[in-house]
Amino acid sequence: LPKSGPKLRPLEPKDREPIHALLHANKPVFSEEEVRTAMECFEQGIVPVPNDPDPYHFLVAEESGRVVGFTCYGTTPLTQGTWDLYWIAVHPERHGARVGRVLMEKVEADVASRGGRLIVVETSGRDEYTKTRLFYEKLKYERIAVIKDFYKQGDDKVLYAKYLAPTEPPPAPHA
Ligand SMILES: CC(C)(COP(=O)(O)OP(=O)(O)OC[C@H]1O[C@@H](n2cnc3c(N)ncnc32)[C@H](O)[C@@H]1OP(=O)(O)O)[C@@H](O)C(=O)NCCC(=O)NCCS
């Protein structure tokens, strides 16, 4: 196992197949429809709209040249400094190996460096997502709201949030 953890890099067109495969491998956590939606984000990620004020940001995690995880995030429109985590997925063969943690730590650093102060994550209350919720809780995301029966009857939306520590010193008093 690589001691140094996965290598993180930007998205590349050649990632289409491995990302599709790792989303697929995470069924039934991801439905067919979710896989399709995530792939639509991928397509926008590799061909960004020129001057898009809210582009998708991607990070890909690689181990020995193999794509083992990715994440997609972006600013939340009409907010100041709030970001949404849209997708995170790790290949099931590599779950629990800290790939997800490394990805999230880099997302947080990147968001903070771009002036972001709050990251919001939406997930499901379904049993298949128990591990996912434990993952966010371990990474100090706070469960801030539950919308009952949001996705469908018996499938709640669970909202997690993390306020990032300011990266710059606070303004001097009387400034
Ligand atoms: C959720 C997911 C991204 C986590 O990635 P991961 O690489 O498996 O998680 P990590 O190994 O980085 O775990 C980080 C911490 O979360 C906790 N955690 C992760 N999986 C856990 C599990 N199955 N049970 C309990 N805690 C767990 C661990 O305590 C771990 O702590 P540590 O770093 O101190 O060991 C991954 O499991 C996944 O792709 N799941 C399916 C897709 C999904 O649910 N995506 C999110 C959609 S909202």
SS3 track for the chain: CCCCCCEEECCCHHHHHHHHHHHHHCCCCCCHHHHHHHHHHHHHHHCCCCCCCCCCEEEEEEECCEEEEEEEEEECCCCCCEEEEEEEEECHHHCCCCHHHHHHHHHHHHHHHCCCCEEEEEEECCHHHHHHHHHHHHCCCEEEEEEEEEEECCEEEEEEEEECCCCCCCCCCCC
pTM of the entire predicted model? 0.93
Cβ(26) – ligand 1 distance below 6 Å: yes
Nearest CA to ligand 1 atom 44: 132
Q: What is the pLDDT of residues 58-103, one digit of tens each?
A: 999 999 999 999 999 999 999 999 999 999 999 999 999 999 999 9
**Does the beta carbon of 99 sit less than 6 angstroms from any atom of ligand 1?**
yes
pLDDT per residue as tens digits for the range 132-156: 999 999 999 999 999 999 999 999 9
Q: Which atom of ligand 1 is nearest to the CA of 122?
A: 48
Pocket test for ligand 1, best of 135, 156, 159 (most atoms within 8 A of CB): 135
